[in-house]
Amino acid sequence: MMDEQILKLLKECDSDFLSGEEISRQLDVSRTAIWKRVNSLRAKGYEIEASRRLGYRFIRSPDLLIPLEVKPILKTELLGRRIHWFNRIDSTNSKAYELALLGAEEGEVVIAEMQEGGRGRLGRRWFSPPLKNIYCSVILRPRIPPNQAPLITLVTAVATAEAIERSSGLLPEIKWPNDILLRQRKVAGILSEIHSEMDRINFIILGIGINVNMDEAMFPEEFRYTATSLKIEKGVEISRKELLSCLLEDLENWYKIFLKKGEGQILKAWREKAKIKGKKIKIKSFGEVLVGFCVDVDSDGALILKMEDGRRRRVIAGDLEYIIEKLE
**Strand, coil or helix: 286:** coil
**Binding piece for ligand BTN, criterion CB under 6 A, among 86-94, 218-226, 230-238, 295-303:** 86-94
- CB neighbours of 319 closer than 8 A, spacing ≥ 6? 121, 122, 283, 284, 285
Q: Does 320 bind ligand BTN (CB under 6 A)?
A: no
Q: Quick one: 37 or 95, whose CB is closer to ligand BTN?
A: 95
- CB neighbours of 233 closer than 8 A, spacing ≥ 6? 168, 170, 182, 183, 187
Site string for ligand BTN, 134-163 (x = CB under 6 A): -xxx--------------------------
Please tell me what DSSP assigns to residue 105: P
Return d(Cα 68, Cα 78) in angstroms, integer.
17
Return d(Cα 53, Cα 43) in angstroms, integer.
22
Q: Does 88 bind ligand BTN (CB under 6 A)?
A: no
**Binding piece for ligand BTN, criterion CB under 6 A, among 18-26, 152-160, 189-197, 239-247:** 189-197
Site string for ligand BTN, 162-181 (x = CB under 6 A): -----------------x--
Q: Quick one: 6 or 108, whose CB is closer to ligand BTN?
A: 108
Closest Cα to residue 206, out of 225, 190, 185, 182? 190
* Of the residues 42, 57, 71, 121, which one makes contact with ligand BTN according to CB under 6 A: 121
Closest residue by beta carbon to ligand BTN: 189
How many distinct helices (H) and strands (E) make up the chain?
A: 10, 14
Q: Does 281 bind ligand BTN (CB under 6 A)?
A: no
Site string for ligand BTN, 191-230 (x = CB under 6 A): x---------------xxx---------------------
173 contacts 75 by C-beta, under 8 angstroms:
no
Query: At CA 310, angle to CA 306 and CA 314, rounded to 5?
Result: 35
* Of the residues 20, 67, 107, 118, which one makes contact with ligand BTN according to CB under 6 A: 118
Q: Does 92 bind ligand BTN (CB under 6 A)?
A: yes
Q: Quick one: 18 or 238, whose CB is closer to ligand BTN?
A: 238
* Of the residues 11, 25, 75, 124, which one makes contact with ligand BTN according to CB under 6 A: 124
Name the H helices within the chain. 2-12, 20-27, 31-43, 67-70, 92-101, 149-168, 221-224, 230-234, 240-261, 264-274
Residues that bind ligand BTN (CB under 6 A): 91-93, 115, 118-121, 124, 126, 135-137, 179, 189-191, 207-209
